[in-house]
Structure 1
Amino acid sequence: MPASVEHLVDYGHALEFGSFITPSAANPNAPVALAQISEASGLDMVTYQDHPYQPAFLDTWTLMTFVAARTDRIRIAPNVLNVPLRPPAVIARSAASLDLLSGGRFDLGLGAGGFWDAIEAMGGGRLTPGQAVTALEEAIDVIRELWDTSEKRGVFTDGTYHRVHGAKRGPRPAHDIPILIGAYKPRMLALTGRKGDGWLPSYGYMKPGDLGRGNAAIDEAAQSVGRDPREIRRLLNIGVLSRDPAEFAERLARLALDDGIGTFILAGDDPSLLQAFGEDITPAVREIVARERGERGTDASPVRSAAFLAARREGIAYDDLPSRLTAIEPGDFGYADVRATYMRGGTPGIVLQPDSPQQVADAIAYARRHPALPLAIRSGGHGVSGRSTNDGGIVIDLCRLNEIEVLDAERRRVRIGAGARWTEVAAVLGEQGWALSSGDYGGVGVGGLATAGGIGFFAREHGLTIDRLRAAEVVLADGSIVRTDASNRPDLFWAIRGAGANIGVVTSFEFEVDEVGEVGWAQLAIQVDDVATFLEGYGRVMEASPRDTTVFLVMGGRRPGQPQVAQFYGLVDSADPDTIIARLQPFAELGPLVQQSVQLTTYAQVMANADLGPHHGSGEPHSRSALLEHVTPEVARAAERMLDSGAVPFFQLRAVGGAVADVAEDATAYAHRAANFSLVAIGGDPGRLDRAWESIADHADGMYLSFDSSLRPERIAEAFPPATLERLRAIKAEVDPDGVFRDNFAIDPVGSDAA
């Protein structure tokens, strides 16, 4: 596209307005107050020039950080940052940090330099105009690489002016920070078109026709690398173009409609002028532009970049999404935070985040229109079994359904959304002096655990998590939203307690929780000289312990030249120190104690052991699970052989039994009530893990769904005894005959060919 004065275009960008304030050091509070006035007047952004060599100015980074802390909504940007005096790797860290601290309110304006005498005086190097453009392009590449945390490897670039060798990535900004480039000359305009997110010149430095020529050059460069020119926002620093407000608004509207300007930034330190600009001028400009765009039929919808569209997976109707349903695609900035689980990497084709049961129904309907694609339901936790993400399929992420509500304080009845995390639940319940058994890690999502079983620190005393469930709201495969409890659709209520992933999507649970005071929290490390004897001893001591005591065991294989060590961790439900010590003493006597920590604390504090930030798991660890009635000598020797194989770096025994066995085998779909222990082994090589597991498999009496990643057909019969499986198949035939929920230990409905 040739550069021409006749290049008149409206890119359809939503209009934005900002202020350009002098970072004067004479009155340090003034540029801060002007930012607050800008925000109060409705402006969208506040910007500051960056001249580190100017002693009359405040440091721009420091000022922007202070302004971010003193404002709530307005975006902040340098206008533009002096890159020759700021190493790009440091810029990347600083920008990401300010974006995180401000809640995603930072934009990054960059300039190639100028005022080279002053830059040299501050220790920077002098560059020719061409060299400065090359240096800026290299800087942009470094900055974007460091922001990209989807890769684990360090950043290596060997540019002419900027080099990083193994720099660690991150932190990841709160949003996709746009890079705005202050450009006037052809090479800078071309760089803006290729790699910029916005063009930021000053109107006072431009001659008639420069906007048209600049737009044309940027558009041509953008198209040369496969970009849509509309991806690049056009910003403009302006002065007061007219003292007449109506004429001022009309001139800005013409710049928007004829020259594609989407953001106008008013330079000036007069508070009354900024107030008038925000309150009077900007509404008038928006009105004129909206009217003419309507008459012209201008498409003002957001533009998807070429890179975004290229990341889409085949076979997914991205343009046929239910309205108002949040969807995250592979090209979205937020995709890196939703693609994986705590322990496993994934590359789903789309992640849907409903915020109501009706939106869950909409998401399921969308999935039904894609029967060939994998479907994962995620409540936000570990996803050890691997069913919470996939490759190229659909993920329904329930993270927005995270409410925690006390329904009846007298009956200790609470409603918990499927997307809440257990550390959040424990904190809310702890305020009432209550608790609900919920695994051993606060980052686990409620939905997955509360439909599989829920083996936690109170299981021996109060039962599984599902044993405290009194009602649930479920979205079925046909989109119907139903409430189920012991008297209302009792078959459904029976099934979701142990096989819920097959039946529907539980959106909320109603639990009757327990009164719990302070507890003893113990972590013991014990040297193990004879693995089989030690494991058998643990099983014996655990079964003999009172129900108020639950201790889990974790260990790995032998390491050359180092003693083998097992970790005990668990609870004693007592506030009496002597009782706590007495309960733990038999465990401590199983071998030489090499480390110990015993605290009197609350269950909420025990479960406050999780980072609730996004999960960035990678790879595909493999796990196997077994439920055991006892740790017999045969089981102990088999476990020792498995650990000695080197295939199992993580081996865990969890105590069950006690109150779990008080519930009848056929009362819930979780049927293995006689088991006193849950065993899990995790390894990186599925073949080696399966071979090592053979010595354990013969002793298993069932398995726990959440801890087994294998896809062996026989796993279904291991998870559910014959009578349980027959009943589940009949229920499956009623509520999900087409097998919509088929990717998590799928049960074939009665009458299906597979069955």
Structure 2
Amino acid sequence: MELGISLDPAESGSVDGGWVELARLAEERGLALVVVDSSPATGPVGVDPWTAVSWLAGKTDRISLGAALADTGGSSQRDATVPYRTVVTKARESLDVLAPGRIVTDAAAWVTASRGASGEELAALSEGGLPVVVPVGSAEDVERLADLARAARTARPRRSPAARARRSPGIDYDAIPESLTRHAVEPGDPGYRGVSSNYLRGGAPGLVLRPGTAEEVADALAFARRHAHLPLGIRSAGHGVSGRSTNHGGLVVDVGRMNGIEVLDRAERLVRIGPGATWKQVSAALHPHGWALGSGDYGGVGVGGLATAGGIGLLGRAHGLTIDHLRAVELVLADGSRVRADAEERPDLFWAVRGAGANFGVATTFEFQVDEVGEVGHAQLGLVTTDIAQTLSDFGRTAAEAPRDTTVFLITGRPRQDHWSVQLLGVVDHPDPDVIVERLTPFAQIGMLARQQVVVTPYAGVMASAADVGPEGHHGFGEPVSRSAFLPKLTPEFARDAADLLRTGQVYFFELRAMGGAIADVSSDAMAFPHRGAAFQVTAMGADSEALDRVWDPLRKHFDGLYLSFETDTRPERLNDAFPPAVLQRLREVKRRYDPDNLFRDNFNIDPDAHPQVPSAGTREI
């Protein structure tokens, strides 16, 4: 039986005395909850309940605090008796930061007994599993309740009433496997804000499970199978643009704790990496050996998502995609079984994981054969141009003509007074400064050079600029809107159409990632990443999905496929852009074999039961 007290400041003494001391005494005596009466205050005090709860949060340390918030559905700035929605929302968010996991705002989260209710009456009211609060006016009242609570107490609940009040419907929290309870995070827990969102996307999952071993991943998926009606997100480091590594009211399996990095064979340069490691951590661990593994362009990205999607990075033209170096992967399948996939064992699954891995299981470890990479030239160039079409065209020609040891990405966005700011990020896989300057000079001439930083550094230095994500986690918000495509060739026609897109102002981020070189050395059917002939990968981000589609669709005639990692349109027809018909059919066959019930469906879902669709306009079969 959990007991608490209900206070009416108008009856419990002055603001700087009685009722605050009663709340402190309730906390000291181990009661579960203090509720501030939300009925209109009478008498000389007239204390607003929400303000009173805020004051009590500062005067106590851990006890749950409750005040029922009034309905703000008809709120108006002109009505002094009805709380204004935005003010209430911000006040609650602020108090969640200042007193995490302690505030209850729903009156349905507790039961109120009559003043002086007997122990038998309180026990009867508590049978529904909610804490029972009793109006009190003195320390003797609090002591009586504390005695009753001690007499009835067996094991103190692991979570407070405030935490339990925020649980999402449809989740059997009492059935969380014992192996996962220590690190599980619920909406009312103090650490929830640090795991609810990812890098770009806001979220409010009903439960985040944080397994640390493959066995615990299997336990988490068993729990997910029992909750198949809920969204299911899989998260490594939470950076992905497209991935649904958070959700609203669903489950998230976060493998961030599985971040080990181990050298398996020095002679073969074979390493084992956990999915929760970041590429900054990986590059730092490989550097002492003189090794590197290409990994996108930002060190804060997690291994798990990128290593199953592709990995178009700043070493791409010199050393290929990240998945080109994958030699084996261990996964937990939807049915909880642990398997290994490589060229000899489950080759069908190994083929599918390299390009569409989010659909088939939770990767628990990767084995990569890494490259010998010494010091490289790392360039960050800032250019200004008034003719963005010409600059794009010049970039396309320069990137295509560059030696394969040189990989450069272009980033731009909305114009400012008919000028575009253009950033070039590049890596030259060569230690000689003269060679580095020779490789980069043509790129510096595609616009007016406004800023330059070129350094000779280990690849770990390229990744080191990423911020470390601490216990506070990510704080993304909203829903990112992004479109992605592969471009076989950057023609003058594409450059003009892209310039028209940028002039609309609907795109605040536009990126061209140079491909070719070693990426094109791999056969298009070697793995489930078929777009080996692309010269560039294109990404555009905006604020509104429909508005972005209106300006993006005229460019589709130039494209040949899309990269799922940077695409937020998860409609089934996007799969026809990402995978040619033969590849998609093969993926469905693998899906039927390893996830027939479609547990892993909340990213770009390869539905095992779907029928082939006609490719959308602008997509050609490879």
Q: TM-score, normalised by structure 2?
A: 0.77
**What's 1:582 paired with?**
438
Give how far 1:740 is off.
0.8
Counterpart among 693, 706, 709 of residue 568 in structure 2: 709
Counterparts of 1:365 and 1:227 in 2: how far apart (Å)? Answer: 31
Q: Equivalences for 1:539-578 in 2 at 5 Å?
A: 539-559=396-416, 561=417, 563-578=419-434
Q: Which amino acid aligns with 1:698?
A: K
Q: Equivalences for 1:58-77 in 2 at 5 Å?
A: none
Counterpart among 603, 608, 612 of residue 464 in structure 2: 608
Residues 564-583 of structure 1 deviation map (CA, whole Å, 9 limit, x = unaligned)? 11100111112211111111
Contact 2:234-2:245 at 8 Å conserved across structures: yes
Residues 643-675 of structure 1 deviation map (CA, whole Å, 9 limit, x = unaligned)? 111110000011111101100000000001001
Residues 17-41 of structure 1 deviation map (CA, whole Å, 9 limit, x = unaligned)? xxxxxxxxxxxxxxxxxxxxxxxxx
**What's 1:52 paired with?**
none
Counterparts of 2:357 and 2:576 in 1: how far apart (Å)? Answer: 16
Residues 70-95 of structure 1 deviation map (CA, whole Å, 9 limit, x = unaligned)? xxxxxxxxxxxxx99xxxxxxxxxxx
1:495 and 2:352 matched: yes
Residues 342-362 of structure 1 deviation map (CA, whole Å, 9 limit, x = unaligned)? 001011111111111111111
Q: CA RMSD in A?
A: 4.0
Residues 715-751 of structure 1 deviation map (CA, whole Å, 9 limit, x = unaligned)? 10110111211111111111111111111111122x5
SS at match of 1:334: coil
The alpha-carbon distance between structure 1 residues 718 and 134, as it changes in their structure 2 partners (threshold 3 A), is: closer
Counterparts of 1:686 and 1:695 in 2: how far apart (Å)? Answer: 15
Residues 12-69 of structure 1 deviation map (CA, whole Å, 9 limit, x = unaligned)? 9xxxxxxxxxxxxxxxxxxxxxxxxxxxxxxxxxxxxxxxxxxxxxxxxxxxxxxxxx
The alpha-carbon distance between structure 1 residues 449 and 141, as it changes in their structure 2 partners (threshold 3 A), is: same
Contact 1:407-1:414 at 8 Å conserved across structures: yes
Q: Equivalences for 1:586-601 in 2 at 5 Å?
A: 586-601=442-457
**What's 2:499 paired with?**
640
**What's 1:466 paired with?**
323
Give how far 1:382 is off.
1.6
**What's 1:345 paired with?**
202
Counterparts of 2:574 and 2:504 in 1: how far apart (Å)? Answer: 23
Contact 1:539-1:631 at 8 Å conserved across structures: yes
Give how far 1:485 is off.
0.7
Give how far 1:612 is off.
2.5
Counterparts of 2:406 and 2:435 in 1: how far apart (Å)? Answer: 10
Counterpart among 596, 600, 614 of residue 737 in structure 1: 596
**What's 2:271 paired with?**
414
Give how far 1:712 is off.
2.7
Counterparts of 2:492 and 2:50 in 1: how far apart (Å)? Answer: 70
Counterparts of 2:365 and 2:330 in 1: how far apart (Å)? Answer: 5
Give how far 1:629 is off.
1.3
* Structure with more contact order per residue of length (Cα contacts < 8 Å, sep ≥ 6): 2
**What's 1:157 paired with?**
none
Contact 1:227-1:305 at 8 Å conserved across structures: no
Give the structure with higher Rg (CA). Answer: 1
Counterpart among 496, 514, 527 of residue 668 in structure 1: 527
SS at match of 1:669: coil
Q: Which amino acid aligns with 1:723?
A: A
Counterparts of 1:143 and 1:671 in 2: how far apart (Å)? Answer: 61
**What's 1:308 paired with?**
163
Residues 442-489 of structure 1 deviation map (CA, whole Å, 9 limit, x = unaligned)? 111110000000011111111100000011101111111001111111
The alpha-carbon distance between structure 1 residues 425 and 622, as it changes in their structure 2 partners (threshold 3 A), is: same
Contact 2:102-2:188 at 8 Å conserved across structures: no
Q: Which amino acid aligns with 2:513?
A: R
Q: Which amino acid aligns with 2:203?
A: G
Q: Which amino acid aligns with 1:608?
A: A
**Any stretches of 5+ residues in structure 1 without a counterpart?**
1-8, 13-82, 85-128, 145-165, 180-193, 195-212, 231-255, 263-292
Counterparts of 1:580 and 1:742 in 2: how far apart (Å)? Answer: 45
Counterpart among 383, 400, 409 of residue 526 in structure 1: 383
Counterpart among 499, 511, 517 of residue 652 in structure 1: 511
Contact 1:422-1:444 at 8 Å conserved across structures: yes
**Any stretches of 5+ residues in structure 2 without a counterpart?**
5-14, 17-44, 61-89, 108-115, 135-142, 614-622
Q: Equivalences for 1:197-346 in 2 at 5 Å?
A: 298-302=153-157, 304-325=159-180, 326-346=183-203
The alpha-carbon distance between structure 1 residues 261 and 342, as it changes in their structure 2 partners (threshold 3 A), is: farther
Counterpart among 530, 540, 543 of residue 681 in structure 1: 540
1:360 and 2:217 matched: yes
Counterpart among 559, 565, 584 of residue 725 in structure 1: 584
The alpha-carbon distance between structure 1 residues 345 and 657, as it changes in their structure 2 partners (threshold 3 A), is: same
Counterparts of 1:135 and 1:257 in 2: how far apart (Å)? Answer: 28
Give how far 1:338 is off.
0.9
Contact 1:10-1:259 at 8 Å conserved across structures: no
Counterparts of 1:747 and 1:395 in 2: how far apart (Å)? Answer: 19
The alpha-carbon distance between structure 1 residues 517 and 260, as it changes in their structure 2 partners (threshold 3 A), is: farther
Number of residues paired by the alignment?
528
Give how far 1:178 is off.
8.2
Counterparts of 1:177 and 1:391 in 2: how far apart (Å)? Answer: 18
Contact 1:344-1:386 at 8 Å conserved across structures: no
**What's 2:20 paired with?**
none
